[in-house]
Amino acid sequence: MQILWDLWSRIIEFVPVIAGVIIILAIGWVAGRVLGKGISKILDKAGVDDALRKTIIGKALERSGVTCVGFFDLIARWFVYLVAIFAAVDMLKIEVVSNYMSTVVQYVPNLIVGVGILIAGFIVVDFVGDSVKAIGKEARVEFSGLLAVGLKLLLYVVVIIIALTQMKIDVSILYTFASALAWGPL
């Protein structure tokens, strides 16, 4: 009889925790939806979608069926969802899952900044490459198109390395290949 009474009292103690978890998840879901829609409206008004369509990432996103603004909506929404899930898991006091969620939530800002660097860098690289090509055509420089493509490729690699470094992805192997390519022709 005592075992049943202890079980019942633990269930009663656990009900407020479950209710709190459900409330946290509901608030996180609503906040994520609102923040995602707000960010997508701001970026749509700023014309980010039009600027990104000209880049490689923008073209790849369009082929996948996701608009560039919709991509940022998803990122913002899922960041808030992850924070809410982290808070809910932390409330349950499951230490292993709580530590894992803490690591994930701490990594997400680096991921967001890395993706931002990647997208902004690709926009700038496309602008610089198109400018070099137009200036070369206007000045009637031979092989200006080839020079513009080479410059774009070099700058794409630089942007990718900077973005991956921000995302805390080890890029030391890329430095090795770049060094070999730089010394190879000599």
Predicted confidence at residue 140, as pLDDT, reads 87
Q: Show Cβ contacts of residue 104 under 8 Å, excluding neighbours closer than 6 positions.
A: 82, 86
Residue among 90, 92, 50 at smallest CA distance from 69 = 50
Q: Is 140 left (phi over 0), alpha (psi -120 to 50) or beta?
A: left
pLDDT digits (tens, 9 = 90+) for 106-124: 888 898 899 889 888 988 8
What pTM did the predictor assign? 0.66
* Tokens read off for 156: 């794409």
What are 185's two structure tokens?
Answer: 């022709």
Asked if 171 and 161 touch (Cβ cutoff 8 Å), the reply is yes
Q: What is the pLDDT of residue 163?
A: 94
pLDDT of 86 reads: 84
Instruction: Tell me the mean pLDDT per 10 residues along the chain, length 186.
Output: 81 86 94 91 82 74 77 85 86 83 84 88 88 89 88 91 92 84 71
pLDDT, residue 100, reads 84
CA distance 86 to 84: 5
Residue 105 main-chain phi, psi, to 5 deg:
-65, -35
Q: Which two tokens stand for residue 45?
A: 């008004």
- Residues counted in the chain: 186
CA-atom Rg of the chain in angstroms: 24
* pLDDT at res. 83: 85
Sign of the alpha-carbon dihedral angle for 167, 169, 173, 175: positive
